[in-house]
Amino acid sequence: MSLQSFIDRLNNNDKKFISGFGSDDEDEWIKVERFLNIVKKRNLLSKLDLSSIVFEDEDQNSFDYFCFKEPELREKLIEQVCRQLYRNIKYDNGKVYLILKDMGDLSYLFCEDSRSEMSSQEKARAILGEDFFEPYSDTTNDVFNDVIEVLTPDNFKILCDEVKKNLGSIDINQYSDEIYNTLIPDLATESGNENVLKIDDTNIKTLLNDEDTFLFIAKEILGNQFYYSLFSCHGNAYNSVLVNEWNNEVTKELESFGFGKGVWKSDKDKKNIFVTDITEFFHHLVGEFLYTHLEYTITNLNDFSGFFTLFDETIDQSTEIDCLKLRLYEYPNSRKVDKEINDTIFDYIEF
């Protein structure tokens, strides 16, 4: 019987002939491997139909690993595995793509590594998710030093002009005795009217440069809407800078796996999907799964229909691939926060 006829029988999942390639006391895989090496020497590996050949238990992993190690068969195996992982993997012309409806699903590559606070996986999901992520609700208790004091000269002048328009003049008798802890009474007296201070280009800068006076004007005269809009401005700047820095760290970790940045596209149903090239990492993952599952396991590549379950199973056994760990700074770069405040303050201030 010709070697091709044996190959045809193997492709039809008829393995009875394998007994002729070894002794009765040898494991079946040893005989199969001996046969496959003969096929290899005759340059007939391309005749194997990987999708039709099925083994039981760990022999399937041994066969798949044999195919993975052979350049002539590896791409066939990779393509077959991609078809198996139909939920979120697509194979196209030698490239392997991870396809997601929610970019936040990339967080499954990160570790569940904390019991007392947010894990790396939880942080990554919050950062990658579609909703705006604000790590902190209270970012300052001092808007004078953290907002007003960091304004550029140009922005401080604009703020002075806006406050001057809204104040006009200050009638000292209309406000609480706290006004006497400010510069307002003295400036009023100097101007010739101890009861009323008319706001002008000169005294407005003096008023807003003094902390006690500024806070009095912000709280009692301009009111809560103005005062709390300064907190909103700081909170937005603080969180935006921090999340942007965290997002950069998440991206760096993903790139360490060889993941491309990815793009948003429309699928055949015109729904948005996130597509990223994971070819190099996918080859590594499949090889590592097979290597770590060669013995004493009944789990094989046919047991998975999605990428992330294959990933989880592999990292449970592998010392070469591990989940990603996030080590994030708790506080953002203060200079970047100051810049963001100056860039956005007039989007937030309300009178």
Tell which wins on pLDDT, 262 or 60.
60
Q: Is the pLDDT of residue 276 over 90?
A: yes
Give residue 115's pLDDT band: very low, low, confident or very high (50, 70, 90): low
Q: Is the pLDDT of residue 269 over 80?
A: no
Q: Is the pLDDT of residue 265 over 90?
A: no
What is 159-228 written as a DSSP string? HHHHHHHHHSEEEGGGS-GGGGGSSHHHHHHHHT-TTEEE--HHHHHHHHHSHHHHHHIIIIIS-HHHHH
* pLDDT of 324: 96
Q: Is the pLDDT of residue 178 over 80?
A: yes
Q: Is the pLDDT of residue 9 over 80?
A: yes
How far apart, in whole angstroms, are the C-alpha atoms of residue 302 and residue 296?
A: 17
> Above pLDDT 70, what percent of the chain?
99
* pLDDT of 113: 86
The reported pTM is: 0.83
CA atoms within 13 A on the CB side of 25: 0
Mean pLDDT for 83-96 is 96
Tell me how far CA of residue 41 lies from CA of 16, 25, 47, 69, 251, in angstroms: 22, 25, 13, 15, 45
User: Is residue 89 within a helix (H) or strand (E), and if so which, with residue range?
Assistant: strand 89-92
DSSP state of 51: T
Pair of tokens at residue 10: 């193997």
DSSP state of 294: S
Q: What's 143-158 look like in SS3? A: HHHHCHHHCCHHHHHH
Residue 89 φ then ψ, to 5°: -125, 140
Mean pLDDT for 318-322 is 95
Mean pLDDT for 180-196 is 94
